[in-house]
Amino acid sequence: MSDHSKSSPLPTYFAVFIALLIGTGLTVYAASLDLGPFNAPVALTIASIKATLVALFFMHVKGASEKLTKLVVIGALFFLLLLLGLTMTDYATRAWS
Amino acid sequence: MPDSTVVGLHNEEQHNPALLHHFAEPQQQRDAASLGMWVFLATEVMFFGGLFCAYLIYRLKYFGDFGAASKTLDVRLGATNTAVLICSSLTVVLAVWAAQTARRTLLIVSIGLTMVLGLVFLGIKGVEYNDKFVEHHVPGASFSFEKVPIPGHPNQYADPHHAQLFFSLYFVMTGLHALHMIIGLGIFLWLLIMAWKGRFTPEWHTPVEIGGLYWHFVDIIWIYLFPLLYLIDRHP
Amino acid sequence: MLNNFPLWPEQASTTAPHVDALYIFLLIVTGMMTLLIFICLLYFAARFRYRPGVRAEQIEGSTPLEITWSTIPFVVFMVIFAWGAVVYFKERTPPDDSTEVYVVAKQWMWKLEHAEGQREINELHVPVGRDVKLIMTSQDVIHSFYIPAFRIKQDVLPGRYTVEWFRATKPGTYHLFCAEYCGTQHSGMVGDIVVMEPAQYEAWMNGGSTGPLSATGEKIFAELGCSTCHRTDTQGRGPNLQGVFGKPVQLEDGRTVTADENYVRECILDPGAKRVKGFQPIMPTFQGLVSEEQVNALVAYIKSISAAKPGDAAKTSASAAPSGIQKNAEPNGSQVQ
Amino acid sequence: MPQPERENYLNKEYGVWSWLLTTDHKRIALLYLISITFFFFIGGFFALLIRLELLTPAGDLVQADTYNKLFTMHGMVMVFFFLIPSIPAVLGNFLVPMMIGAKDLAFPRINLLSWYLYIIGGVMMLHCMLTGGVDTGWTFYAPFSTNFTNTKIVEAGLAIFIAGFSSILTGLNFVVTIHRMRAPGMTWSRLPLFIWAHYATSIIQLLGTPVIAVTIVLVACERALHLGIFDPRLGGDPLLFQHLFWFYSHPAVYIMILPAMGVVTEIIACFSRKRIFGYSFVAFSSIAIAVFGFLVWAHHMFVAGMSVYAALVFSLLSYAVAVPSAIKVFNWTATLYKGSIHYDAPMLYAFGFLGLFTIGGLTGLFLAALGINVHVTDTYFIVAHFHYIMVGGAVMGYLGGMHFWWPKISGKLYPEGWARLAALIVFIGFNLTFFPQFILGYMGMPRRYYDYSHMPEFQVLNVLSTAGATVLGVGYLLPMIYFLWSMRYGKPAPDNPWNAAGLEWKTSSPPTTFNFEVEPLVTWEAYNYEDLDASH
- Under a CB-based contact definition with an 8 Å cutoff, are residues D52 and D61 in contact? yes
Q: Domain-by-domain residue ranges, chain C?
A: 8-45+63-92, 99-206, 213-324
Distance from CA of A16 to the nearest CA of D (A): 30
- How confident is residue C308, by pLDDT bands cut at 50, 70 and 90? low
Burial class (CB in 10 A: 0-12, 13-18, 19+), C267: buried
Mean pLDDT for chain C? 84
Distance from CA of D4 to the nearest CA of B (A): 22
Looking at the structure of chain D, the number of domains it has is 1
The residue in chain C having the minimum alpha-carbon distance to the alpha carbon of residue D304 is C155
Evaluate whether residue D476 is within a structural domain.
Answer: yes
Mean pLDDT of C85-99: 92
Calculate Rg over the CA atoms of chain A: 18
C81: CB partners within 8 A, 6+ apart = D315, D316, D319, D368, D369
Which carries the bigger pLDDT value, residue A8 or residue C128?
C128
The residue in chain A having the minimum alpha-carbon distance to the alpha carbon of residue B203 is A2
C250 pairs with which residues across the strands?
C256
Domain C99-206 in CATH 3.40.50.300: no
- Running DSSP on this structure, what letter comes out for residue B16? -
CA separation for the pair D483, D399 (Å, rounded):
11
Question: What tens digit of pLDDT does each residue of C214-231 get?
Answer: 888 888 888 888 877 887
Q: Note whether B60 contacts A32, CB cutoff 8 Å.
A: no
- How confident is residue B177, by pLDDT bands cut at 50, 70 and 90? very high
- How confident is residue B56, by pLDDT bands cut at 50, 70 and 90? very high
C288: left (phi over 0), alpha (psi -120 to 50) or beta: left
pLDDT for res A65: 65
CA separation for the pair C102, C87 (Å, rounded):
24
- Under a CB-based contact definition with an 8 Å cutoff, are residues B213 and B41 in contact? yes
The residue in chain D having the minimum alpha-carbon distance to the alpha carbon of residue A79 is D207
- Under a CB-based contact definition with an 8 Å cutoff, are residues C173 and C193 in contact? yes
Q: Tell me whether A4 touches chain B (CB under 8 Å).
A: yes
pLDDT for res A64: 65
CA dihedral D43, D45, D49, D50 (to 10 degrees): 20
Evaluate whether residue B55 is within a structural domain.
Answer: yes
CA separation for the pair C143, C140 (Å, rounded):
9
pLDDT for res C312: 42
CA separation for the pair C55, D165 (Å, rounded):
47
Query: Nearest 5°: phi and psi at D305?
Result: 100, 20
Query: Nearest 5°: phi and psi at B143?
Result: -65, 135
Which carries the bigger pLDDT value, residue B148 or residue C308?
B148
CA angle (B104 as vertex; B102, B105 as ends), nearest 5:
140
Q: What is the residue-level pLDDT of chain D in tens, covering all 536 positions?
A: 455 577 889 888 888 999 999 999 999 999 999 999 999 999 999 999 999 999 999 988 999 999 999 999 999 999 999 999 999 999 999 999 999 999 999 999 999 999 999 999 999 999 999 999 999 999 999 899 999 998 999 999 999 999 999 999 999 999 999 999 999 999 999 999 999 999 999 999 999 999 999 999 999 999 988 888 999 888 899 999 999 999 999 999 999 999 999 999 999 999 999 999 999 999 999 999 999 999 999 999 999 999 999 999 999 999 999 999 999 999 999 999 999 999 999 999 999 999 999 999 999 999 999 999 999 999 999 999 999 999 999 999 999 999 999 999 999 999 999 999 999 999 999 999 999 999 999 999 999 999 999 899 999 999 999 999 999 999 999 999 999 999 999 999 999 999 999 999 999 989 998 899 888 999 999 999 988 888 65
CA separation for the pair D204, D251 (Å, rounded):
6
Evaluate whether residue B14 is within a structural domain.
Answer: no
CA separation for the pair D357, D345 (Å, rounded):
18
Q: What amino acid is encoded at B23 in this protein?
A: F
CA separation for the pair D368, C81 (Å, rounded):
8
CA separation for the pair B168, D476 (Å, rounded):
47
Question: Half-sphere exposure of A95 toward its Cβ, with a 13 Å CA cutoff?
Answer: 10
Q: Note whether C84 contacts D368, CB cutoff 8 Å.
A: yes
CA separation for the pair B44, C85 (Å, rounded):
37
C102 pairs with which residues across the strands?
C113, C135
> The dihedral of CA A17, A18, A19, A25: what is its sign?
positive
- Under a CB-based contact definition with an 8 Å cutoff, are residues D80 and D118 in contact? no
- A32-46, C77-91, D70-84: lowest mean pLDDT where? A32-46
CA separation for the pair D173, D181 (Å, rounded):
11
Query: Which A residues, 33 through 92, put their C-beta within 8 Å of a C-beta on chain B?
Result: 33-35, 39-40, 43-44, 46-47, 50-51, 54-55, 57-59, 65, 68-69, 72-73, 75-77, 79-80, 83-84, 87-88, 91
> The dihedral of CA B86, B88, B92, B97: what is its sign?
positive
Q: In what helix (H) or strand (E) does residue C132 lie, and over which residues does it extend?
A: strand C131-138
Q: Note whether D308 contacts A93, CB cutoff 8 Å.
A: yes
D131: CB partners within 8 A, 6+ apart = D152
- Under a CB-based contact definition with an 8 Å cutoff, are residues D490 and D412 in contact? yes
pLDDT for res C286: 82
Nearest CB partner across the interface for D235, out of B39, B53, B62: B62
Q: What amino acid is encoded at D357 in this protein?
A: F
Evaluate whether residue D13 is within a structural domain.
Answer: no
CA nearest to D180, candidates D102, D279, D291: D102
pLDDT for res B58: 94
The residue in chain D having the minimum alpha-carbon distance to the alpha carbon of residue B143 is D227
The residue in chain B having the minimum alpha-carbon distance to the alpha carbon of residue D168 is B43
A41: CB partners within 8 A, 6+ apart = none
Looking at the structure of chain B, the number of domains it has is 1
> The dihedral of CA B27, D196, B217, B20: what is its sign?
negative
Domain, as residue range, for B123: 30-231
Contacts 24+ apart (CB under 8 A), D176-180: D176/B32, D176/B35, D176/B36, D176/B39, D176/D106, D176/D107, D177/B32, D177/D96, D177/D97, D177/D100, D177/D102, D177/D105, D177/D106, D178/D96, D178/D100, D178/D202, D179/A68, D179/B32, D179/B35, D180/B28, D180/B31, D180/B32, D180/B35, D180/D106
- Same topology, domains C99-206 and C213-324? Answer is no
CA angle (D329 as vertex; D320, D500 as ends), nearest 5:
135
Evaluate whether residue B129 is within a structural domain.
Answer: yes
DSSP string, D128-175: HHHTT---STTTT-TTIIIII--S-HHHHHHHHHHHHHHHHHHHHHHH
Q: Tell me whether C2 touches chain D (CB under 8 Å).
A: no
pLDDT for res D227: 86
Q: What amino acid is encoded at D192 in this protein?
A: P
- Running DSSP on this structure, what letter comes out for residue C259? -
- Under a CB-based contact definition with an 8 Å cutoff, are residues D68 and C186 in contact? yes
Kindly tell me if the per-residue pLDDT of B8 is higher than 80.
no
pLDDT for res D499: 93
Chain C CB contacts of A97 under 8 Å are 93, 258, 260
CA nearest to C116, candidates C102, C137, C131, C136: C102
Chain D CB contacts of C186 under 8 Å are 64, 68, 448-449
CA separation for the pair C103, C94 (Å, rounded):
16
Q: Tell me whether C232 touches chain D (CB under 8 Å).
A: no
C301: CB partners within 8 A, 6+ apart = C213, C214, C215, C216, C217, C218, C220, C221, C317
Domain, as residue range, for D472: 24-534
Question: Half-sphere exposure of D89 toward its Cβ, with a 13 Å CA cutoff?
Answer: 36
Q: In what helix (H) or strand (E) does residue C113 lie, and over which residues does it extend?
A: strand C109-114
Residue B72: strand, helix, or coil: coil
Query: Nearest 5°: phi and psi at C96?
Result: -65, -35
- Under a CB-based contact definition with an 8 Å cutoff, are residues B57 and A91 in contact? yes
Kindly tell me if the per-residue pLDDT of B157 is higher than 70.
yes
Query: At what angle are helices A67-91 and B26-61 packed, to 10 degrees?
Result: 20
- Running DSSP on this structure, what letter comes out for residue D448? T
Question: What class has domain C213-324?
Answer: mainly alpha
C29: CB partners within 8 A, 6+ apart = C76, C80, D365
**β-pairing, C162-167 with C172-178?**
unpaired
- How confident is residue A55, by pLDDT bands cut at 50, 70 and 90? very high
CA nearest to D236, candidates B176, C158, A81: C158
Its ipTM equals 0.90
Query: At what angle are helices B75-100 and B206-226 packed, to 10 degrees?
Result: 160
Q: In what helix (H) or strand (E) does residue B85 lie, and over which residues does it extend?
A: helix B75-100
Confidence (pTM)? 0.91
Q: Note whether B236 contacts A34, CB cutoff 8 Å.
A: yes
D167: CB partners within 8 A, 6+ apart = D84, D85, D88, D114, D205, D209, D255
CA angle (C240 as vertex; D236, C104 as ends), nearest 5:
40
pLDDT for res C164: 94
Q: Domain-by-domain residue ranges, chain A?
A: 8-65, 66-97
CA distances from B206 to B96, D105, D130, D491 (A): 9, 18, 45, 48
Q: Tell me whether A32 touches chain B (CB under 8 Å).
A: yes
Query: Where residue B227 sits, what CATH number does that domain have?
Result: 1.20.120.80
B130: CB partners within 8 A, 6+ apart = none
Kindly tell me if the per-residue pLDDT of A72 is higher than 80.
yes
